[in-house]
Amino acid sequence: MARSAGVLLSITSLPSPYGIGTIGKEARAFADYLKKAGQTVWQILPVGPTSYGDSPYQAFSTYAGNPYLIDLDMLCEEGLITKEQLDSFDWGSNPAQVDYEKIYNARFPALRIAFENFKKADQKAYLKFTRQNSKWLKNYALFMALKNKFNMTSWTEWPEDIKMREDSAVRRWERKLRNEIRFWKFVQFKFYEQWESFRAYVNGLGIKILGDMPIYVAMDSADTWANPELFQLYDDGDPIAVAGCPPDYFSATGQLWGNPLYDWDYLKETGYEWWFERIAAASRLYDITRIDHFRAFASYYSIPYPAENAINGKWVEGPRIQFFRMMEEALGKIEIVAEDLGTLTPDVTELMEQTGYPGMKVLEFAFDSGEENDYLPHKYTNNCVVYTGTHDNDTVMGWVETAKQSDIDYARSYCKMPPDEPFNWGLIRTAYESKADMAIVPIQDILGLGKDARMNTPSTTGANWAWRVDANALTEELADKLKTLSVRTGRMED
């Protein structure tokens, strides 16, 4: 991994006249800005279709792209929808926040207009896409058509025959919902068509996309519905146990995610084929793939279902190094960053050493326990990625508002911050000066924003994933400052 610097910004957080960031003009403009700022990595959040709660870590499919990210102006240019039609929808009035209810109520009617017009267009590229992606696309499109038919209820609440995917039921619903299924295939065709163009543009600037792959899939997803044998489920589809993590820094009762756990014995018997296909798909979207909650490959936290919180779970051994050795045989070398945050047990440390993947270091965690803290930069090896904070942390300036004064004083002393250096820039400078091969900073920390700009607070619902950046805040002066720091710390050539 080359010495480099990058920025963490969810695509949904970009400016847009349609209430949420997309992979259109503003995404290219941000990539241009990264180029000016001496950045060679753009880290994003997962890009799957989000479900209730709007979390990108709970998607309806591990393969499908988020319909919200499709750029509507590009559909306009293709003649699939008019500007007047787009302007007739209510996309929300606050450019600093995503209004997900309004987006939901406007986005899909707009896409359906585009779909009706697309039926008259040349279908060659669409048909090629559906053939090449038929394995996952067929299940996903039927799944979404059925969800729409059954008022978006979970598949576990569907009529028994289609819930359990009886062959006769599948064939019957495929006939009944033929047009609706085609709509969902069209949406994915447009997402992937635009994504290919977006990624080519970003890569053409010398910038890599660092994507994020949740380790678990959602219970209410096409993956779980279509492949129940991969998961720890009862015969009726209910989970035996679900995923989460024990009480920690973020939550006194742990985190109850509710995702189904993998049946690793079955996956091993099948040569981990499903998993390797999933990782291969991620590597076609991203240049570098961050695997969220990597530690679950060493041992995962199993919480008996149902549960009110994560207190009564237990650790169970995962597939460990055999999985990654077989993966490399199947797929070759893939650039991966392992999210190894939290309390690391010896089995996790051993797996990190065996794979050789770079782990993560977060400076917000570094200053609360003295010289023995493993997040302090003098403890780093080159083979890691350092962050000021992540999407799950408060912003640096928000952290300053709530941290102990002794921790703040220690951070200032350790980072050798002059009295006139803003705290956020002291941490950014320290990250850049560290020996970590890659330094990633959330755009909120570069802008010096407070807690109101936080992206996510774990174990909470309602106010997350909505923050958006003000395009006017991305000034030439700020780009010059980042570029100067990148050059001085050897993270780019002058």
Q: Which residues are catalytic?
A: 292, 339, 392
Q: What is the dihedral of CA 67, 68, 70, 73, to 10 degrees?
A: 140
Dmax (CA) for the chain in angstroms is 72
Distance CA 142, CA 222 (A): 9
Residue 483 host element (H or E): helix 476-488
The half-sphere exposure of 195 on its side-chain side, counting CA atoms within 13 A, is 22
Q: Are 303 and 313 in contact (CB under 8 A)?
A: yes
Name the one residue in this structure whose structure tokens are 């163009």.
Answer: 197
CB atoms under 10 Å from CB of 1, counted, come to: 15
Instruction: Kindly state the tokens that stand for 47.
Output: 């890009």
Q: What is the dihedral of CA 147, 150, 152, 158, to 10 degrees?
A: -80
Q: CA angle 163-56-466, nearest 5°?
A: 125
Please list the residues that pair with 441 across neighbouring strands.
Answer: 7
Nearest to 80 by CA among 48, 122, 28: 122
Type of residue at 350: E
Nearest to 61 by CA among 50, 53, 73: 50
Instruction: Kindly state the tokens that stand for 146.
Output: 């059925």
Backbone angles phi, psi at 212, to 5 degrees: -125, 125
